Amino acid sequence: MITIEAKVRELVAMAGGASSHSIMSDVDLDVITPLCVAAIQRDAEAIGYDGFKGDADSYPAIIWTMLYNSTIRPTIFEWLEEAHPQAWFKLMYDTVENQNKAMGK
C-alpha cells in the first residue's frame, strides 16, 4: 500500500515521471509535498473524488496524471517561483506552452 502523500512525493520528485530520479532535494520535497497534498484536498470535490484518502493505488493512473497536470504541477511551479526562482529544473514544472517557448518552438 502506498499512501497519498508518498504518491504525491514521488510525482513531485520525478516531475510526474519525466525523470528517472529525484529532481528535488529531500528538504524541498519535505516542504512542497504537503502543499501539493493540501491542493489536491482543496480540489477533490471539484473533480468529483472523495478527498483522496487511503491507498494511492486504489485510484486509476489517469487520475494521477490529471491531478499532476491540473493541481500538483502548478502548485510546484508557484512554490519554485518564490523559493527557487533560478532553479535549473523549474521549467519542468511549467506549462507545456511555456516549455515550448523556452525551447524556441
What's the pLDDT band for 46 if we cut at 50, 70, 90?
A: confident
- The alpha carbon of residue 22 and the mean position of all alpha carbons in its chain are separated, in whole angstroms, by 12
Per-residue pLDDT tens digits for 2-22: 999 999 999 999 988 877 889
Please give the residue range of the domain that contains residue 14.
4-102
pLDDT of residue 104: 92
Overall number of domains in the chain: 1
pTM over 0.85: yes
C-alpha cell, 69: 497536470
pLDDT of residue 83: 96
Beta-bridge mates of residue 19: none
d(CA 25, CA 95) in angstroms, rounded, equals 22
